[in-house]
Chain A
């Protein structure tokens, strides 16, 4: 257990429905990342927050995806009008703050999304 939690762990939905995932990072971490991982691939970057500011969003990310991190604590990732191609493991990671040069990221257990 890295201290990063995600909810739910599994989500099955029908095509066209909206889904929302939650990530709670390690409490003292101010950076939070969302990744998507499909079978046989490494994690693919989606978006990144420093505190409450969303600093980068993947160009590959459809407008159906949106993420928030109100008050710089937990984050939510919403997918609107889900498609079968959205089926994947959605991973959240957080990393530390301060003056450290290191940016090691600690991953949560992920939310596995299945779109029928």
Chain B
């Protein structure tokens, strides 16, 4: 089943913070976060594993609540380059398929 993302869209001014949430109705092994700009491929941001491991860009932070099957992506001191659509993807097993949500559109304005 597709994870649910919220909010669906958000507009920020440069320097503001934002949180994007992702929830699933199924038990999860991993949560994946990607950013996609218009006309481009999704770019990997972060992966969070059951058990607390995570790997990703230094300037990106995220959390994963295994019991609630929820994850949040934290964007701080936003820059214009942060604009794009953010997708969370979830997987039930280590090398299983990733199921993506419909995305959160983020626009950062000057």
Contact = CB atoms under 8 A, between A and B. Distances in A.
A93 B102 CA distance: 18
Contacts of A41: 102-103
Interface in A89-108: 91, 95, 101-108
B91 interface: yes
Nearest to B87: A42
Nearest to B33: A104
Contact size class for B?
A: 20 to 34
Nearest to B48: A102
B55 A42 contact: no
Interface in B30-85: 30, 32, 34, 40-44, 47, 49, 53, 55
Given A31-B95, A103-B95, A109 B40 contact: yes
Interface stretch (A44-52, A64-72, A77-85): A44-52
Interface of B: 2, 30, 32, 34, 40-44, 47, 49, 53, 55, 87, 89, 91, 94-103
For the complex of A and B, 10 pairs with smallest distance between CB atoms: A42-B100, A107-B41, A45-B97, A104-B47, A42-B87, A107-B42, A43-B100, A109-B41, A104-B44, A102-B55
